[in-house]
Amino acid sequence: MTSAGTKGSWLSQPTVKSVLVYRNGDPFFPGRRIVINEKKVSNFEVFLKEVTGGVKAPFGAVRNIYTPRGGHRVRQLEELQSGEQYVAGGREAFKKLK
């Protein structure tokens, strides 16, 4: 058993991001923390499946991720910023909450 800092430390660590995801149009949903580990979440489709399970959306599968303020659609994992908040939606358009 090797400890951190010895053998293998030259390998780059996998990128891990943590985002808070809300349900589209649901002002009462408290949000769900989703951890994105690049070893487990290899692409945007896998991320959408993770979010679908995490937010248990009444509209079914999550198809779109939006920024909460402008409602801009996120289309790839690289656009997600760790520590930020996002809105998960199905096929419906982004619903701005007051």
pLDDT digits (tens, 9 = 90+) for 6-20: 445 556 667 899 999
Q: Domain boundaries in the chain? A: 16-89
pTM of the predicted model as reported, rounded to 2 decimal places = 0.83
CATH class, 16-89 region: alpha beta
Digit-coded pLDDT (tens) for 42-67:
999 999 999 999 999 888 999 999 99
Six-digit token string for 49 = 């499946």
Q: Which residues contact 41 (CB under 8 A, 6 or more apart)?
A: 47, 50, 77
| Unique residue bearing structure tokens 């290899």 | 42
